[in-house]
Amino acid sequence: MRAIYSTFSLVAFASVLVGLALPVRAQEGEARRVTATALLVTQEGVSAQQATRVGVGVRRGLEADARLRFADPVDLLSDASVPEEIQTAIDDLDAIVELVSSGDAAEGQRRAQAAIQVFEMALVSVKRAALTDAYMLDAVAACRLNQRRQCAEGFARVITFRESIEYDATRYPADYAALFAQTSARVLAGARGSVQIVTEPAGAEVFVDGRSFGPAPAIADGLLIGDHFVTIKRVGFEKLIARVTVERDRTATARFPLQPIQRALLLERDLSRLPTELGEERAGPIISGLTGYLFANQAVIGLLRPGQGGGIDVALYLYDFRTRFLLKERRATVPDAEATERTTALVAELYDHVDLTGNVEAPEDAAPRVVERARPLWQQWWFWTAIGVVVVSGVVVAATVDTSPTVPEGFTRFNGAAQ
């Protein structure tokens, strides 16, 4: 029996070690991906278009670093909640897959079209993958119902705004992969056009089908004829997503008024006061206060001034919100025409040989802020430690209990029977 208890004790002890090791590995994995955001402060003489070109460069530089996860400040300031009807439609997509594949295709088509209608009424709350899935399910349902022309048109609609899409035979019936391939070849060889995007106020970054075309007013060219989706972002304003139609042999103009976002009122006040703290080794109260609405681990804060010869003087400061320390800074004067490319390179220099773990002693006047989602109970290090301790304690108690039928006077059996 004692041999069995000893073996079980070793197993229990090993489980404790494993329980401790798992969260360590998870924390190491999380340390490899640090959430970083970016803010720009512009001084008089720097236009909104110039600021956006620099901002695009900062974003590309952060996205190019495999250690980082870029969090757009526009997204951080926007309402991230998903309306109930949107979430219901998203949750219904898997059920529609079953209906289209092996169930009632007519019912699947009806529900796919209903989901599309809900999505298009609130595009800003829908990820492109969900919208694409709904379109594809509608098209595949048409194929199942022998509506071949309608099916091909549905495929063409998706290919128009997602040129690189491939047919997923694990989600949609493999029977229609050939028709999809034929439609893709035909659409991609078709005519292309352009559309001009104008925003009020000007200077917002314009994305068409996920590709950035720089600050508005912007001309998005080389687009397939048909419907496309425009995303517009500018700090201080609500993110906007809308559908535009590209026509043959003409450049249409789409105008979008931007709505101020209430959450950005505090940010606007702070931006005007940030230059007084930039460059300090320890973040001041204004920089530290950004964590109240910008949930990230780090921030690249840029100060833009007019430069010589029409260029832009760019100063970038990398602050870690967890430790409130300035990690590094870089300065350069970039030509307006090369602002994006030069700023991207400047961000790479900013992060070169920088410790991103946050394992730096924080200032004494404030506790470090670690921004992360709460992990489930079973992923907490103390959960497995507690289980291991309980198991080991039980084993130790069991191993020390005398199993003989005779119990000395004044002692108690392990089963609780008094002698």
pLDDT tens series, the chain, 419 aa: 444 444 434 334 444 344 444 444 444 444 468 999 999 999 999 999 999 999 999 999 999 999 999 999 999 888 778 899 999 999 999 999 999 988 899 999 999 999 999 999 999 999 999 999 999 999 999 999 999 999 999 999 999 999 999 999 999 999 999 999 999 999 999 999 999 999 999 999 999 999 999 999 999 999 999 999 999 999 989 999 999 999 988 898 999 999 988 777 778 888 888 999 999 999 999 999 998 888 899 999 999 999 988 899 999 999 999 999 999 999 999 999 999 999 999 999 999 999 888 776 555 554 444 444 444 544 454 555 555 544 444 444 344 444 444 444 444 343 433 33
CA distance 32 to 10: 33
Amino acid at 128: R
Q: What is the pLDDT of residue 405?
A: 46
CA distance 135 to 93: 11
348 close to 64: Cβ distance less than 8 angstroms? yes
Residue 295: burial class (beta carbons within 10 Å; 0-12, 13-18, 19+): middle
CA distance 389 to 343: 53
Residue 164: what are its φ and ψ, rounded to 5°? -90, 5
Residue among 24, 27, 26, 36 nearest 66 (CA) = 36
Residue among 212, 206, 267 nearest 235 (CA) = 267
CA distance 232 to 207: 6
Question: Across the strands, what pairs with 333?
Answer: 313
200 close to 258: Cβ distance less than 8 angstroms? yes
CA distance 365 to 355: 22
CA distance 281 to 37: 19
Quick one: residue 159, left, alpha or beta (phi over 0 = left, psi -120 to 50 = alpha)? alpha
Report H helices in 32-127: 48-64, 73-77, 84-102, 105-121
Tokens of residue 37, six digits = 């955001």
DSSP state of 40: E
Give 259's Cβ-side CA count (13 Å radius).
8
DSSP state of 310: G
CA distance 5 to 398: 8
Question: Across the strands, what pairs with 208?
Answer: 211, 230
Report how far apart, in Å, the C-alpha atoms of 226 and of each of 15, 75, 160, 190, 237 are: 59, 28, 6, 11, 28
> The sheet that has 218-224: what strands, in order across it?
218-224, 192-200, 251-257
Q: How far apart are the first and last CA of the chain?
A: 23
**Structure pTM?**
0.74
110 close to 118: Cβ distance less than 8 angstroms? no
274 close to 301: Cβ distance less than 8 angstroms? yes
203 close to 49: Cβ distance less than 8 angstroms? yes
DSSP secondary structure string, 370-381? ---PPPPGGGSH
Hey, which bits of 296-417 come out as E strands? 298-306, 312-320, 325-334
